[in-house]
């Protein structure tokens, strides 16, 4: 199962340059890297990145993250994937630009 992380362009560039990341400022503050499922990621973008245009959507295979990935209740009581260790660039399955359109972010046609 793929899970998704939204990065601001400088955060993504740092991950590419350094090979791993402890996440965005919110991740550092919370002590884990926030991910979303395919069903959650559009609402995550709307809630936390509503006006941001230079974003990168990253897909990661949940099973490859091992026991450091925990499913925990968050927004509305839904279970969200949280990674309690740095994310490695080698764990990224794909990355795509996530532009901001007139009515919200423009996601890839299929999140698979």
Residue 83 CA to residue 67 CA, distance in Å, equals 9
Superfamily of domain 2-99: Protein of unknown function DUF952 (3.20.170.20)
pLDDT of the chain, 112 residues: tens digit per residue:
999 999 999 999 999 999 999 999 999 999 999 999 999 999 999 999 999 999 999 999 999 999 999 999 987 889 999 999 999 999 999 999 999 999 899 999 877 5
What is the pTM for the complete model shown?
A: 0.94
Domain positions in the chain are 2-99
Residue 30 CA to residue 27 CA, distance in Å, equals 5
Confidence at residue 76, expressed as pLDDT on a 0 to 100 scale: 86
Confidence at residue 112, expressed as pLDDT on a 0 to 100 scale: 53
């Amino acid at each position: 199962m793929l899970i998704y992380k939204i990065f601001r362009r400088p955060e993504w560039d740092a991950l590419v340059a350094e090979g791993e990341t402890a996440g965005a400022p919110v991740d550092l503050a919370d002590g884990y890297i926030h991910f979303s499922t395919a069903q959650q990621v559009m609402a995550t973008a709307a809630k936390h990145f509503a006006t941001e245009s230079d974003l990168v959507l990253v897909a990661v295979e949940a099973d490859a993250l091992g026991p450091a990935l925990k499913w925990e209740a968050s927004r509305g009581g839904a279970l969200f994937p949280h990674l309690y260790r740095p994310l490695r660039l080698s764990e990224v399955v794909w990355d795509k630009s996530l532009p901001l359109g007139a009515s919200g972010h423009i996601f890839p046609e299929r999140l698979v």
